[in-house]
Amino acid sequence: MKLDEKGLLIVISGPSGVGKGTVRSALFDMTGHDLVYSISMTTRKPRANEVDGEDYFFVSKEEFEKRISEGKMLEYAEFINNYYGTPLDEVERNLNLGKEVVLEIEVNGATQVREKMKDAIFIFIAPPSFKSLKDRLMSRGTEPVELIEERCNKAERELHLAYMYDYIVVNDSVENAADKIMAIIRAEHAKTERTIQKYKQILEEENEY
């Protein structure tokens, strides 16, 4: 029996290179949950393997700023000279359909979501060590050296912000991390504050017999 039928808004953050994307894919491969990934919008140029409308919606700075002024972004942030943000309409539509919506965003954006969506769950993915993170960023080979340096510095600063999140999940292995996130989602659905209304309703129905 399901006591909580509303979808959850799940915010996942973590420094560049921590493997958020890989953990997210593993999470989405697990069956039994109706997860929807919120595709972000960015002014960053696509990487060689990235597809518009799948990895991101790639737009111009003007288009992005227009959307901000029209109130169409749930949150947005500037990250290494580019805008990144979450289009609001799809998030609302999917939550209203009872689906779990997953955002993969950096910490400033997560703070904005915390202020606007009181029910959201915040998960920080941490590396097993700072060295492993640096090694991953260096070996990724998708960016010029100066940008890698900048990402490393930013990553180090972000690691200190994990305390703002509800959960910290160490990405020691992709399967472990995805398993833990799924366990968090299941436990959150069972929380009294999410289930009590339906539970009371069931008790009242039983009293009628």
Binding site for ligand 5GP (CB under 6 A): 16, 40, 44, 75, 77, 79, 84-86, 104-106, 108-109
Nearer to ligand 5GP, 83 or 180 (CB): 83
Min separation Cβ 157 and ligand 5GP, Å:
12
Spatial distance between the Cα atoms of 83 and 43, rounded to a whole number of angstroms: 5
C-alpha to C-alpha distances, 69 to 63, 120, 180, nearest whole angstrom: 10, 24, 38
Shortest Å, Cβ 204 to ligand 5GP: 42
The 167-170 sheet, strands edge to edge = 35-37, 100-104, 9-13, 121-126, 167-170
Contact 94, 117 (CB under 8 A): no
- Nearest-CB residue for ligand 5GP: 109
Q: Please report how close the Cβ of residue 81 comes to ligand 5GP at its closest, in angstroms.
A: 11
Kindly state the smallest distance separating residue 1's Cβ from ligand 5GP, in Å.
Answer: 35
Q: Which is nearer to ligand 5GP, 8 or 38 (CB)?
A: 38
What secondary structure does DSSP assign to 117-170, as a single string? Answer: -TT-EEEEEE-S-HHHHHHHHHHH-SS-HHHHHHHHHHHHHHHTTGGGSSEEEE
> What is the number of alpha carbons within 13 Å of residue 2 lying toward its C-beta?
8
**Shortest gap between Cβ of 133 and ligand 5GP (angstroms)?**
12
User: How many CA atoms within 13 Å lie on the side-chain side of 157?
Assistant: 9
| Residue 123: closest CA among 188, 40, 42, 52 | 188
From the CB of 122, what's the least distance to ligand 5GP, in Å? 13
When the beta carbons of 61 and 191 are compared against ligand 5GP, the nearer one is: 61
Question: Residue 208 phi/psi, 5° resolution?
Answer: -70, -15
State which residue, 4 or 42, has the beta carbon closest to ligand 5GP: 42
Between 57 and 195, whose beta carbon lies closer to ligand 5GP?
Answer: 57
Nearest residue (CB) to ligand 5GP, 4 versus 104: 104
Of the candidates 76, 73, 104, 78, which has an alpha carbon nearest to the alpha carbon of residue 9? 104
